[in-house]
């Protein structure tokens, strides 16, 4: 149901409000987030920012932060042995500086997308040098625009069978858990004023993983390793899985009790009902995000709320290789704007939940 008059009153385009949101003095998530102390962000790419003007304009109205979906990964930077390619990151950070946006540094140290020649160097015993060189070089280069860094991404995977649930990543295999301590200590040295984040996924659904992440966080904080926040990637599932609400709330409370901030870093919804009507699909996505955000907001207000894309136009979940639920490559409608950049029901849900923050 489109509430025309209400929508016209304070939204730039009409969206199904279903009477859940009274008019607000704020017109965009960016304005509302700023008023509530929540920085609104979206993953994007240099191509989207420079080659899709309509998209970039809407992003500037809804977000005050951007995240490189690809350009800061080791596969992008070190794609050719002996060469360092930060052209994509430079373009993204130039755009951000010109437009007054903040940037998330994602990711610094990750197990995935390591070029073969980098893997060979790690295997040859140069992991510690590689890690230090990368952290120092990249953080120094962008310290004037990147204020929040995923220093270590996805270090926990209990199914790998290591003690304390560590993932058998190349870094872990070469250096043991100390690579995590090392990365955060170097990060504080080279970006002393930035928010240093441990980032991971599925803690909303998997209590075993959440417990292992919490164990890592307790070990880092008790060892006085410089860490400021935990990034909940929050790649949610439309119907295939349901968040373990009470466990998730306790998990967030434990993070808060460690004195760490909680960020939402990659929020989107993985659909699996592409044969249903758009209205039904959008309602399901909205309800999933509503349940998740209500659970989180019952414990903490995230200083950063980032979506893994702003518009369905560029969702990674529309690519069958990333979304086994979507073998035919339908547009996955798991983000706040549709592929035509129109606000969806989930936009109104996020807006009304943030608007209620005191
Ligand atoms: O390979 C080309 C490269 O040659 C080209 O220069 C570049 C230009 O943009 O594109 C590259 O294509 C793909 C890239 O996405 C850009 O679309 C890469 O092959 C592909 O591996 C890459 O996938 C990304 C994936 O991380 C791995 O980096 C997805 O888009 C991205 O959504 C996904 O994001 C991850 C987060 O970083 C961590 N959390 C989970 C999340 C989803 O998996």
pLDDT digits (tens, 9 = 90+) for 257-302: 999 999 999 999 999 999 999 999 999 999 999 999 999 999 999 9
Asked if 349 and 334 touch (Cβ cutoff 8 Å), the reply is no
Helix axes 53-62, 29-36, angle to 10 degrees: 30
Task: Report whether pLDDT(3) > 50.
Answer: no
266 lines ligand 1 (CB under 6 A): yes
Q: What is the C-alpha separation between 222 and 36, in angstroms, rounded? A: 31
Query: For residue 196, what are the β-bridge partners?
Result: 149
Q: What is the C-alpha separation between 79 and 261, in angstroms, rounded? A: 34
Nearest residue to 266 (alpha-carbon basis) of 101, 33, 107: 107
DSSP H helix total and E strand total for the chain? 14, 10
Task: Report whether pLDDT(98) > 80.
Answer: yes
| 3-state secondary structure (DSSP) of residue 1 | coil
316 lines ligand 1 (CB under 6 A): yes
70 lines ligand 1 (CB under 6 A): yes
Task: Report whether pLDDT(1) > 60.
Answer: no
Question: Region 141-166: what's the mean pLDDT?
Answer: 98
- CA dist list (Å): 58 to 18, 21, 54, 311, 346: 24, 21, 6, 10, 16
> What pLDDT is stored for residue 76 in this prediction?
98
Protein residue with least CA distance to atom 37, ligand 1: 69
> What pLDDT is stored for residue 22 in this prediction?
57
Q: How far is the CA of 230 from the centre of ligand 1 (A)?
A: 22
71 lines ligand 1 (CB under 6 A): no
Mutate to test the pocket of ligand 1, among 44, 48, 70 (most ligand atoms within 8 A of CB): 70
pLDDT digits over 174-191, tens only?
999 999 999 999 999 999
> What pLDDT is stored for residue 24 in this prediction?
83
Task: Say what percent of the chain tops pLDDT 70.
Answer: 94
Q: What is the C-alpha separation between 21 and 40, in angstroms, rounded? A: 19
233 lines ligand 1 (CB under 6 A): yes
pLDDT digits over 192-233, tens only?
999 999 999 999 999 999 999 999 999 999 999 999 999 999
Q: How far is the CA of 281 from the centre of ligand 1 (A)?
A: 25
Asked whether the CA dihedral 327, 330, 331, 335 is positive or negative, the reply is negative
Nearest residue to 267 (alpha-carbon basis) of 298, 239, 295, 307: 307
73 lines ligand 1 (CB under 6 A): yes
pLDDT digits over 11-70, tens only?
444 444 444 455 789 999 999 999 999 999 999 999 999 999 999 999 999 999 999 999
* Phi–psi pair at 267, nearest 5 degrees: -65, 125
104 lines ligand 1 (CB under 6 A): no
Protein residue with least CA distance to atom 32, ligand 1: 316
Asked if 232 and 204 touch (Cβ cutoff 8 Å), the reply is yes
Q: What is the C-alpha separation between 292 and 204, in angstroms, rounded? A: 8
Task: Report whether pLDDT(9) > 80.
Answer: no
Query: For residue 232, what are the β-bridge partners?
Result: 200, 264
Protein residue with least CA distance to atom 2, ligand 1: 76
């Amino acid at each position: 149901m489109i509430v025309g008059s209400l929508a016209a009153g304070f939204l730039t385009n009409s969206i199904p409000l279903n009477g859940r949101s009274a008019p607000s003095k704020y017109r965009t998530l960016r304005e509302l987030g700023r008023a509530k102390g929540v920085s609104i962000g979206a993953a994007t790419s240099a191509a989207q920012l420079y080659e899709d003007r309509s998209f970039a304009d809407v992003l500037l109205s809804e977000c005050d932060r951007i995240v490189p979906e690809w350009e800061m990964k080791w596969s992008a930077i070190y794609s050719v042995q002996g060469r360092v390619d930060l052209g994509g990151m430079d373009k993204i950070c130039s755009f951000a500086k010109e437009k007054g946006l903040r940037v998330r540094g994602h990711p610094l140290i990750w197990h995935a997308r390591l070029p073969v020649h980098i893997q060979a160097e790690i295997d040859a015993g140069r992991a510690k040098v590689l890690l230090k060189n990368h952290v120092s070089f990249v953080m120094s280069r962008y310290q004037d625009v990147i204020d929040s860094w995923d220093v270590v991404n996805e270090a926990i995977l209990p199914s790998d069978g290591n003690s304390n649930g560590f993932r058998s990543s190349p870094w872990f295999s070469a250096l043991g858990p100390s690579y995590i301590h090392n990365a955060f200590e170097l990060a504080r040295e080279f970006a002393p004023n930035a928010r240093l984040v441990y980032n991971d996924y599925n803690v909303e659904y998997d209590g075993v993983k959440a417990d292992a992440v919490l164990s890592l966080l307790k070990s880092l904080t008790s060892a006085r390793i410089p860490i400021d926040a935990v990034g909940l990637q929050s790649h949610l599932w439309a119907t295939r899985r349901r968040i373990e609400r009470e466990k998730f709330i306790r998990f967030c409370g434990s993070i808060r009790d460690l004195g760490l901030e909680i960020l939402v870093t990659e929020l989107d919804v993985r659909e699996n009902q592409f044969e249903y009507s758009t209205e039904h699909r959008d309602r399901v996505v909205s309800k999933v995000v509503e349940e998740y955000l209500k659970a989180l907001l019952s414990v903490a207000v995230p200083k950063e709320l980032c979506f893994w894309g702003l518009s369905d136009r560029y969702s990674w979940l529309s690519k069958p290789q990333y979304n086994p639920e979507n073998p035919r490559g339908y547009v996955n409608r798991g983000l706040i704007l549709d592929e035509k950049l129109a606000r969806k029901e989930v936009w109104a849900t996020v807006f009304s939940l943030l608007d209620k923050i005191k």
